[in-house]
Structure 1
Amino acid sequence: MTTTVPLASYLFTRLRQLGIGAVHGEPGDYTLRALDFIRPAGLRWIGNCNELNAGYAADGYARVKGMSAFCTTYGVGELSAINAVAGSYAEYSPVVHIVGCPARMVYGSNRLVHHALETGNMRVYADMYARVTAAQANLTDARTAPGLIDRVLEECRIQSRPVYIELPSDMVEAQVDESRLSAPLHIEPPTNARDLEDAVVNETLERIYSSKRPYILVDGLVRPDGIVDEVNELARVTGFPTLAITFGGGIINGSSENYHGVHAGKFGSIDHTPYTDSADLALLFGPLLSDTNTQGWSVVPKEDITISFRRNSIDIGSASHELRIKSFMRSLLSKLDPSKISAGAPNPPLSSPRDLLKSLPPPDPSAPVDQDTFYLRLSPFFRPYDIIICANGTPLVGGRDFILPPGARLVNSGVWLSVGHMLPAAQGIAVAQREALEAGQQPGRTILFEGDGSFQATAQELSTIIRYRLDVTIFIVNNDGYTFERLIHGLEEEYNDVAPWRYPEAPRFFGAPEDGSYAVETHDARNWGELLKVLESESFGDGKGLKMVNVWMRREDVTRNFKAALVLAGKQLLAGSE
């Protein structure tokens, strides 16, 4: 006899089987009945202040846990979230977006219901989402719904991109066959053709053995591609000079002697181009080669010396081979013979952010905090397993100089760069960190660096952090507005200003308890002396509860070399308009 379960129960049980522990979202009338099935499936509900923030939070959670889910209502809710989902698609973050929809009979009628457009096409929003999701499912038939759910969840994990599920309100409790729940989903990528894999591995090894001036260049898709350990092992075994692109910061062990930091060319704190321009081999991993990520493509290696390692292909020069990266890397490492490597240490030696930090004199306690040294000097504050989040703007650039301890991670943006993304993302990451602690894993702190303009875009999520008593440390980089935009164009224009908030007072407004049940600590730091006092505080450093420090910086201050990049960006925008 076939046993059945409600469709919503099947869906949320599958999410739990995939390691998801919480579902973010915003309730709406089309979703309410479905939300009743979240807790019975062993999931937590995390209610956000709006749907856009829920999508951002799910994105952050997915970057840490490997997959996430959030719920919105039809039309107004899902459209509020589509910016976040598009960002997840652009940056390969595996998010399951569940949309509560009107009952099936509505789709077959011409009646105009709330949240619908007067077009006669009730699925117009689904059509929009098809452009920014890897797979979609419309659960209108109890016989096929379990299979559709399984298919889109498999695609979400395999492609590491968001998927879209329409759940009509009258299907929530539809009885479906539960037998599929006893079988695991097929989330392993297909294996490679052995002959092709062996041939490309051998060609790659020949290039590695014969190279005299090689380097490894790591970008941010290494993590969703699932090869962080393999790339670190390759860097360790070969000893090749290793660099990251901005989005790839924090992937390579920051204590490795052959890791020399983020490669930003002449716009970085260290210019590595004298070496990379004369290199004869570049091993490029997980590339997402956007203009902002590569400083106007200035750090992209020449094609003829490059082997690009992508999720589904290995590209040697202009030749592309369809291969799955995980299997390929395992084969490459198993056959690599370090004794055959002919490349020696780079001459002259390459410097690193570690060298820059050692060379810094002690700061003048009365001097204002400056962008050029702020991020370097913050590095000793970090601990193993911390997750450091850099919002778009000055933290994204400054965070390139972070020196991270083993096990620490950096989360930033490589192409989407949506203002306000990272505060809700930090909330989602903090939920994932709490789950790691509950599972007995080694958790670190959740530390966010956020500009004042970005903070104002999604500040409501501070209340979600407080509501769920999450542990988050926030450094607000307060430079009185949109400094990036000022330097690109409109240095003194009003449109680059933001309102002068009293940031340390925000937790009280957003409901932080005052009875000691949840630790809240806020500070103003107007100079180095005040900031160092905060950093040396044991209570601030413990990462428990909500810790905030409002770091005042000069209005036009950015890292010295990057100012030239912003001025150049302004000129390029002007040239493009002519």
Structure 2
Amino acid sequence: MTVKITLAEYLFYRLHDAGLLAVHGVPGDYNLQLLDHVTPCGLEWVGNCNELNAGYATDGYARIKGIGALVTTFGVGELSAINAIAGAYAEMAPVVHIVGTPDRKSQSLGARLHHSFCRGISQDYEIFAEMYAKVTVKQENLINLSTAPMQIDRAIRECILQSRPVYIRVPMDMVHAMVPRPHSSRSMLVPGSHRCESLNLLPAPNEPLCELEIMEQIVHQIRNAKRPFILVDGGTSRYGLSEMANQLVKMTGFPTGTTPFGKGIVDETLRNFHGIYSPVGDKRYQSYLECCDLIINIGPVHSNVNTFYFTTVPKVDVSIMFEQDCVTVGPSTWNLKPKSLLEKILDNLAKDGLSRLEPYPDLPRVTLTPEMVEVHPSAELTQNIFWTRISSFFRSGDIIMTETGTASVGGRDMILPKGTTLINSSVWLSIGYMLAAAQGAALAQRNLKSSSLTPSQGRTILFEGDGSFQMTAQEVSTIIRKKLDVIIFIINNNGYTIERLIHGPEQHYNEVASWKYLEAPSFFGGVQDSEYPIFTASANTWGTLDAILNDKEFKDGRGLRIVELKMDIMDCTQHMSDLFQMGGKKD
């Protein structure tokens, strides 16, 4: 006998099957009945302060958990979230955006309903979906009961396989429509995975002969390279290639670097890891790469910010690029899935071994030395030292998040322990994203800890500028309400320092209001108690900061911990100063 469930249950069960444990969003009259089914389906509801923040939080959750879901109402709600969804599209985060819409009859009649343009035409109910078609890889409108379950499965599958947002509309009168319950729901997960086998999350296989031919060609180039280099970019993690990229780095011993967007993917403790490939600073990088006869570029994202104004894009004639749906060797491109191909390359290299790579020139290393942390206790904080020095505070399992601005660029100087995750932005650069995303990331981290037999001691650590904090400060209340463990370093440099560096160092439009940041927890509902402790402190000298960092309650405790770092209005790293000088020359 076929067991039937409501369409809303089907949707949330399938998201649960795909690994989701929490749903973000904002209630609205067109999605209220839909939200009734979130918790009964085994998912945690996270009500955010507004839809934009909810979208950011969902993105942060998805980057850690592998999938995120956002529920908004029609029109006003979904358009409030569209910037966040566009960012998830640009930076490849697997987000499912669910929109509660008016009933099908009202839509077909063009009823003059609130949240619409009220023109009395049915096309009004397609306008927002048309907008979302530009920033999502799959759009489904659940108006047909016989196809709705298949549409849900299809959207979730594309979301995960393409690592980009999808868009699902659920009319109010379809929420309680009955559909067959999937046999696999909540009980037939693939062993060792959070994903449901029946969702068919495996990509289409490569054509065997073509894959074999390209594999042999690439292995031949690897074996015969005299001046090789591996460049790991942000797409590596999005395409599920991180583990294989690290295997390749270890197996070959090839000198390796990352882009800013790829930082944190490669184990930075490896002897052949040489940090972010940059044209500013140490010139040994550039001189070495100019003479390379092989550059293996995994997951390339060639934005201006990520390539230092396109100066670090590898030369085509010596490059092998592993992209999402293709592999490029020199000037030729093949439509091959990179994961299967890389697996076969690694198997071949492991089976037959590699000849020892000749010593290569001394390239910059990313080892934390005593000289890097020696400062006078009474000296004022400066970013040129801070980002390297804070590295000693990190530990395996930490999620480290750097907001767009001085934090994101400064964070490139951080030296990360093995097993850490770095979240930054190198494409969309929407300031304010990171605070809300930290709420989502911290929740995902808690979900992972609760489902693991050996939970990590890692923390969620956010570095946020004062201007960015003011964009999405309300989500401090969500962090408190959900009792999430988050450490926030607020860099208070009295305004938009990165904008001052770009243009208008003394212009009033780069100023922000002077907030009492350490009072934010109290204003947003925080109450100091043993169940959810709140820690706040301020530092403007190294001695004060060291005392905070060594405080056991701060570094090992729970709850919300906020530290205000007071820095000069124009202070930045030398790396950032050099970068903007380069950008000025390019304009």
For the criterion TM > 0.5, the same-fold answer is yes
> Mapping of 1:104-503 within 5 angstroms?
104-119=104-119, 120=121, 121=123, 122-179=125-182, 181=184, 184-266=198-280, 268=281, 272-336=285-349, 339-341=353-355, 343-347=357-361, 349-354=362-367, 357-360=369-372, 362-440=374-452, 441-443=454-456, 444-503=458-517
Q: Secondary structure of the equivalent of 1:207?
A: helix
- Contact 1:396-1:412 within 8 A present in 2 as well: yes
Shift of 1:477: 1.3
Shift of 1:360: 2.3
Which amino acid in structure 2 is aligned with residue 434 of structure 1? Answer: R
Shift of 1:567: 3.7
- Contact 1:209-1:342 within 8 A present in 2 as well: no
2: distance between equivalents of 1:199 and 1:543? 54
Give the corresponding residue for 2:57: 57
Q: Secondary structure of the equivalent of 2:170?
A: strand
Name the stretch that deviates more: 506-515 or 165-174.
Answer: 506-515
Which amino acid in structure 2 is aligned with residue 153 of structure 1? Answer: I
Q: Secondary structure of the equivalent of 2:367?
A: helix
The superposition leaves residues 115-141 of structure 1 with CA deviations (integer Å, 9 ceiling, x where unpaired) of 001453211000000110010110112
The superposition leaves residues 31-88 of structure 1 with CA deviations (integer Å, 9 ceiling, x where unpaired) of 0001010111100000100000000000000001100101000000000000000111
- Contact 1:26-1:50 within 8 A present in 2 as well: yes
Identity of aligned residues (%): 47
2: distance between equivalents of 1:153 and 1:179? 14
Give the corresponding residue for 1:38: 38
1: distance between equivalents of 2:545 and 2:430? 28
Shift of 1:2: 3.2
2: distance between equivalents of 1:239 and 1:94? 32
2: distance between equivalents of 1:202 and 1:93? 33
Which amino acid in structure 2 is aligned with residue 123 of structure 1? Answer: E
RMSD, aligned α-carbons: 1.5
The superposition leaves residues 551-572 of structure 1 with CA deviations (integer Å, 9 ceiling, x where unpaired) of 1111111111321322443565
- Normalised by the length of structure 2, the TM-score is 0.95
Quickly say closer, same or farther: Cα 1:459–1:361, change in 2 above 3 A. Answer: closer
Which amino acid in structure 2 is aligned with residue 164 of structure 1? Answer: Y
Q: Secondary structure of the equivalent of 1:246?
A: coil
2: distance between equivalents of 1:63 and 1:243? 22
- Contact 1:281-1:305 within 8 A present in 2 as well: yes
- Contact 2:372-2:388 within 8 A present in 1 as well: no
Q: Secondary structure of the equivalent of 1:61?
A: helix
1: distance between equivalents of 2:28 and 2:373? 56
Quickly say closer, same or farther: Cα 1:93–1:269, change in 2 above 3 A. Answer: farther
The superposition leaves residues 95-149 of structure 1 with CA deviations (integer Å, 9 ceiling, x where unpaired) of 0000000111111113211000145321100000011001011011211110111
- Normalised by the length of structure 1, the TM-score is 0.96
The count of aligned residue pairs is 570
Q: Secondary structure of the equivalent of 2:317?
A: helix
- Contact 1:218-1:244 within 8 A present in 2 as well: yes
Which amino acid in structure 2 is aligned with residue 290 of structure 1? Answer: S
1: distance between equivalents of 2:28 and 2:6? 20
Q: Which runs of 5+ in 2 are unaligned?
A: 186-196
- Contact 1:208-1:341 within 8 A present in 2 as well: no
1: distance between equivalents of 2:372 and 2:284? 18
Q: Secondary structure of the equivalent of 2:300?
A: coil
Which amino acid in structure 2 is aligned with residue 480 of structure 1? Answer: N
Q: Which runs of 5+ in 1 are unaligned?
A: none
Please tell me whether residue 93 in structure 1 is matched to residue 93 in structure 2: yes
Which amino acid in structure 2 is aligned with residue 149 of structure 1? Answer: I
